[in-house]
């Protein structure tokens, strides 16, 4: 019988993918814990926010520090990635209408503002 072996390149790719998923989840959860208030999105949004925050944070640090490369899986990379995810969460809430009163969702869950107003009551005068 022959045994099935995964090529080394695929093993490295799978390891990196699982590491980024775990790392993105930790960074996204930490950013959501720092930001006060209710948190939009679920597990997939937290994961995407963590991975995107690490890319934005490490890229911004590389831009500011004149090309010094920071690996995201380092302590300084973790801090910068959390800051990037925090910025992403802030803008996500800002554009979603949680801060500043923007967007129609700030009036209710999925309802446009004109549905929240009531018609004024008309008093009927009954003449006797």
The answer to the question of residue 54 being in a domain is: yes
Structural domain range at position 102:
8-109
Instruction: Write the pLDDT tens digit of every residue in 75-92.
Output: 888 888 889 888 988 888
pTM: 0.62
Residue ranges of alpha helices (H) inside 65-106 are 75-96
The answer to the question of residue 127 being in a domain is: no
> Which regions in the chain score pLDDT beneath 70?
1, 40, 97-122, 128
The answer to the question of residue 122 being in a domain is: no
The answer to the question of residue 99 being in a domain is: yes
The answer to the question of residue 95 being in a domain is: yes
Cβ atoms of residues 106 and 97 within 8 Å: yes
The answer to the question of residue 124 being in a domain is: no
Q: What is the pLDDT of residue 56?
A: 87
Domain total of the chain: 1
Q: Give the whole-angstrom CA distance, residue 42 versus residue 45.
A: 5
The answer to the question of residue 68 being in a domain is: yes
The answer to the question of residue 125 being in a domain is: no
């Amino acid at each position: 019988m022959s045994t099935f072996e995964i090529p080394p390149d695929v093993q490295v790719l799978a390891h990196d993918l699982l590491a980024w998923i775990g790392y993105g989840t930790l960074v996204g959860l930490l950013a959501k814990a720092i930001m006060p208030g209710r948190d939009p999105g679920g597990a997939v949004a937290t994961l995407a926010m963590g991975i995107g925050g690490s890319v934005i944070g490490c890229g911004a640090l590389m831009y500011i520090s004149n090309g010094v490369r920071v690996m995201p899986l380092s302590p300084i990379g973790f801090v910068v990635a959390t800051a990037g995810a925090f910025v992403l969460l802030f803008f996500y809430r800002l554009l979603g209408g949680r801060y500043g009163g923007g967007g129609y969702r700030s009036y209710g869950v999925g309802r446009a503002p004109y549905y929240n107003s009531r018609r004024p009551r008309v008093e009927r005068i009954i003449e006797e």
